[in-house]
Amino acid sequence: MSPKDLACWLEKSGEKPYRARQILKWIYGRQTDRFEDMTDLKKGLRARLAAAFSNVRLKLLKVERAKDGTEKFRFGLADGARVESIRIPERDHDTLCISSQVGCAMGCAFCLTARLGWIRNLTPGEILSQVRDICRASPRRRITNIVFMGMGEPLANLDNVCRALEILTQSAFGLGFSHRKITVSTAGVVPKMAELGRKTRVNLAVSLNATQNKTRDFLMPVNRRFPLERLLEACRAYPLPPTRRITFEYVLLKGINDTLDDARRLSRLLGPLRAKINLIPFNEFEGAPFQRPEEGHILAFQKVLLDRHMTAIIRASKGSEISAACGQLGAPAHAA
C-alpha cells in the first residue's frame, strides 16, 4: 500500500493517519514480518492490521551464483507464478535487476523471456518484495542501484511500477533508494513514456537495437505500432531533468544490426539527444537464432560512436553461465 492509502485506511478505522509512516518504517526499514512485533503501536491496532493485511515474503525457490559473483534469485508467487531477479556485483556496490511482469508480451526476438509470453502484471508488493527480500537474504554488500530490466515491460505495468517506486525512493519510511540510482527500461511503449516522466524522477532507458524500421520491426514487434520516428520524438519530448541523459540500449547481433553503417546511423539518430549508449553484445542462449559479434567488430562499432563524440559503453556481460545476463531470464512461468 502507498502511504496515502494506508493513512486513509487508518483514518477510517479511527486511528491517526500518521501511524502509516510508523507501520511502513517497520516493514521496509526494520524488515519486520509480524504486525505483533510493531511494539510502538497499540495492541488493538496490531490485531486489526494482522486481520486486514498480509505482510508475507516471496517464496525463494532457488539461488544460483556465478563465478563473477552474480546471483540469480528465482521467486515463487502466491498463485504459483515465478519470476527472476539478478544481483550484479560492481566494484564498490551492487546493482539489483528486478522484474515487473510474469513473462512479457513484447516478443523481442533476442530475448528468452519473450518465449514465455505474457502471463500477468506483478503487483506493487511483488515488485517491492524482490528488493526487500534480497536486501535481507543477501546482506554481504550494499545494493545502491536498481534497474527495471528483468522480466516484463515496465511501462505496460506503469501504475504498479510507479506505486512501487514511491516506496523504493522514500527515505523516511520506505527503502530509501535515490531516484538517480533507479532506471526504468522500456522497449518503446511510446504513450506511457511521458507519463513515467511526469510521475517520477528516475532514469529512463530505451531498448533501441536497430537504426532502421525494417530491422527493428523484425527484432521488436512493438516497433510496428511505435516506429523509430515516433519513439525518437517521444525521447525528445521526455521531461528529462537538466543533468540527466536517456540511456539507449543496443544489443549487438552478428550480421543483423552491427555494421559500421549501423553505427553511423545510430550516431545521427541520437546525436541531437542527451544520450548515453549501452552496447550489449548478444548473450547467447539455447535455441537462439542470433550470434554475438566478434570482439574486434564490437570495438570497431564503438569506435565509430566515440569518434563522433557519443558516450558509448560496452556493457560487460555478467552471470551468463547461470543464464542471468541481459536477455537470458526465462524462469518457467508456473511450477510444473
Reference 25, options 124, 108, 132; nearest CA is: 132
Angle 216-106-119 from CA coordinates, rounded to 5°: 170
71 an active-site residue?
Answer: no
- Give the pairing of strands 101-103 and 182-186: unpaired
C-alpha cell at 287: 535455441
84 an active-site residue?
Answer: yes
Distance linking the first and last C-alpha atoms of the chain: 31
Reference 210, options 238, 229, 183, 182; nearest CA is: 229
Q: Find out whether 205 and 149 touch, Cβ atoms under 8 Å.
A: yes
**What angle do helix axes 190-199 and 228-237 make, rounded to 10 degrees?**
10
Rounded CA-CA distance 155/200 in Å is 13
Q: Is 180 exposed, middle or buried (0-12, 13-18, 19+ CB in 10 A)?
A: middle
Rounded CA-CA distance 148/333 in Å is 18
Backbone angles phi, psi at 115, to 5 degrees: -70, -20
Q: Is 312 exposed, middle or buried (0-12, 13-18, 19+ CB in 10 A)?
A: buried
Residue type, 164: A
Q: How far is CA 260 from CA 266, 304, 306, 333, in A?
A: 10, 7, 12, 39
**Catalytic residue among 97, 162, 235, 326, which?**
326
**Catalytic residue among 84, 126, 153, 249, which?**
84
**Active site (catalytic) residues:** 84, 326
